[in-house]
Structure 1
């Protein structure tokens, strides 16, 4: 019986680059020193991509459930038996249908405690929609499945961590969704994640403004004065080291993000554009604030390069290792919490 961390992997859109980056990552046997990977998909679809990639020295160990996983192999659970036509680069209902089947079965096992973490390969947010998936993306679906009140889309890279107040909503709806309560909730989730998931004892968080020049003292929008600054002040009263609001353009241009442990952006592109520019090749999307661990690469389905053996697995590999690291930190933090002597030593070491 192995005590290695079991990481479930959903394959995403079968016509995208998901299985390509998964197979490339798991082809490195060194991965097995750190976790037991369990892919939720289909051996037939996996074989299609293995042949397309000309990878002849790799195969999956087929199992029926996580308890059968071989800790010395990359494992796969067949989530369906029927033959499926794989069409790399094609956006169709088939890609979305089987992406959801893979995701649903993986999340079922995650919630049941049969796996320790989940890494999700990219989906198409349009073709995956069905009666059981009426969400803008993975983050909202998994938040719903865990019955969590809130969650934080937390982008993590070597030199940058960025979260967003509003996620997958139209730009025209952003301002109405920027409230003091929403900002406070995200700041609390970010603070707690930085401490518990990344072991940063006294995290420093930068908060960006919504408007150009952070409102320029009310000349270019009132949200900073009326909402964002009061939220920051209340956060400080709750013991959160939050500073801002900063104008978003100059903040990243002059490297100010390096002075903070994380940055809270007001909306999706404000946070993700600089993040992807800085950390595109190894960035990770982590859903913070949930009782389960879920990460994903910070890229999409890559239809334009699907099946051509040119997709980089770097971001997916980083997502896999980040999931492993967070599980380990949470486990050890649980042990430390039960032993105040260890907590005191840990605090001294970090200070």
Structure 2
């Protein structure tokens, strides 16, 4: 059974009207959307519906394929809190491109399967490069265990589960959120990293992961979406992402972007040792990178800097040796 949150029926009616208008004006083939929610037992709880719009000016704007839907779906997944995922696809089309077409059904199945495969991959962890069973001992028990390891981690996050969810489902949502946000931030950072060849040896680069920007679903404030921003990005950039990927219009002042602090010059200065304090700190001017660098003093390997008085003694010895050689040459010439 499918349960809709309040307001979704009106939202769906609005999407249908907008699709009909675009179909008349631009002749689009269909409109795809993402059903965002959670699965509890055999029931689906829908919290939001986001449309997968195509650009009007695109020469291929009349075409929708599985790759376009799955790529956009992967970006939508990055914004969702733990406990929410894409549980299905919405398809708005006329009779010629309806779900009665085997080709259309196959295309949507491929797109949804690709999204779900990526989603399931978030729950998979390799231990020492191997996929191991959850019930398998972490280490072979051929030796008596000794020692004790203690980890203390404190984290704050928002996840979403249905009102009838169990404790286990809430715990799984927390784990999913942690894995999703770490993977998303690392993936976005990797995609935006500038490859710099022949970088000077006197420079240490510090890469910072994108910081989160939070916004609540207007109809359900307890559901918090997350966008990821680079150093020079603002709330306006997050606002655009929420509009493009989630079909949400959120005022800038309702988007929180200050929950995490970026490293400042003082932090970068303290990274290196006291003997190699940087002469200056540089920050990237790119809007798609969180890269900073510190320029270190010249590095001398295996040598020690001579004091000033040692230079004076060496200079005096060289001068004396030159004078002796001069006297000997004069004597020989006589």
TM-score range, shorter chain: under 0.3
Give TM-score scaled by structure 1 length: 0.22
Higher relative contact order (CA 8 A, sep 6+): 1
Q: Which has the larger radius of gyration?
A: 2
The structure with more helix, counted as a fraction of residues: 1
